[in-house]
Amino acid sequence: MARPLHRHLNGMERPPDPPAPSAEIPSAGAGTDRSGRSGRALLRHRPFALLCGEQIASSVGRQVTTLALALLAVTRLGAGPFGASALMALSYLPGALLSPFAGVLVDRARLRGLTVLLTVLQVLVVGSVPLADTLGRLGLPQLYVVAALSGALTSMLAVALQAALPRVVHPEQLLSANSALTGARTTGQIGGPALGGVLVGLTGASTALLAACAAYGIEALLLLGLPATLNSSVRKASRQKESRTAALRAGLEVVRGERLLRRQVLAGAGFNLGSGAVDALFVLYATRDLGLPAWQLGTVYAAFSVATVLGVLLAGRFAATIGLARATRICAVVAALAIFLIPGASLGPGFPALLAYQFVFGLAATVWAISMTTTQQLITPPELQGRVAGVLQAALIGTVPIGALGGGALAAWLGNVPVLTGGAAVALVAAACLWLP
């Protein structure tokens, strides 16, 4: 979908002007990565540097939280397979339901204050677990409530930060900015599980959550350091006499009216439905069916992290060369095809097949996500960034728990390999929707 990019966004002070952008979305990256000048300008831009630091801190906090809650549920409180699946589902469902309404709030609120508030609430919610454990009152119901509230806060913060980024950088710098933020987030995703594992081993899962609270506290301080001018672009919109229903409808109309956004929603939701079923069975399949020892499973996950870093480094250049739209279509199909390597591992040596899957999937999915997010931000009018991000996030994450729970139930009836193959097929059909004429 071709769309002019010359939008003058209001908001906080921005970095120095990079080269003039192309006028069409498919070639938007060309102005972003030329000579690396835009990337260097971003690194010197204090508000953007704060956002990168926030991504690292929040990613570490979420990784430690996810690991500690799962271990508490399974090892301490005796949750079975369905209980563990329910814990994961609850971390997604509230966010999927609330994201569109969070978008309305984001477009009307003072963004800096809202992001700080959401992060402080995260500290209180997660910190309630070690407090209850100390008092001897910790139970599964509380873990479910904490997982749901923490997931909802995480989703709302993600919508707010997506809306904030176009106020921090120029439109032609969005591709470089999204790549850098993904790289920062990946750093936390690599270090977070390792830190969580060490802390759980040394202090226990409950006490490890205090480290997650500390990470969230650092995140709040970094967000508090953003300039107050981040709020300026929403003050005019906040004075408009518009009902919440009308405000929500405005975001939906943007998605309905833009063919590229409609296809992204359809492809992403279907892809997550299939890959959600696969993810729910991956560890069980790798350890029980394929017999991978712990060191091989750890190496497989490390390959994904390496591929993600490589995807961050290549995303800007790849999209600048062939265009954002084409990069999204190609990488979506490649990521879906890579999933077939998982059931294919049952036909031969499992370790090399899963290693190849994690590397190809991590690389393609990272470039896809960066290109898709950048396209969304370029197409969406400034005053509707939060609402459109909320609608898309609801559609994209809402199918993950459905796929996970459905995949687990079907695997108990049909076996792992048929469900893994079916999940890969669903993901491929969804990704192919981006290629419709």
pLDDT tens string 292-338:
886 777 678 778 878 888 888 888 788 878 888 888 899 999 999 99
Query: Over pLDDT 90: what percentage of the chain?
Result: 21
Helix 205-224 to helix 174-203 angle, to the nearest 10 degrees?
Answer: 150
Give the Cα separation of 10 and 136 in Å (integer): 51
Give the Cα separation of 205 and 76 in Å (integer): 9
pLDDT for residue 430 = 94
Give the CA-trace dihedral at 217, 220, 221, 222, to 10 degrees: 120
Mean pLDDT of 411-428: 91
Nearest-CA neighbor of 18 among 186, 162, 175, 204?
Answer: 175
Task: Look up the pTM and report it.
Answer: 0.69
Give residue-wise pLDDT tens across range 126-141.
Answer: 999 999 988 888 888 9
Q: Classify residue 239 by its DSSP letter.
A: T
Give the number of residues written for the chain: 437
Give the Cα separation of 386 and 409 in Å (integer): 35
Alpha-carbon distances of 76 from 90, 189, 202, 205, rounded to whole Å: 19, 25, 16, 9
**Which of the pair, 290 or 172, is modelled with greater confidence?**
290
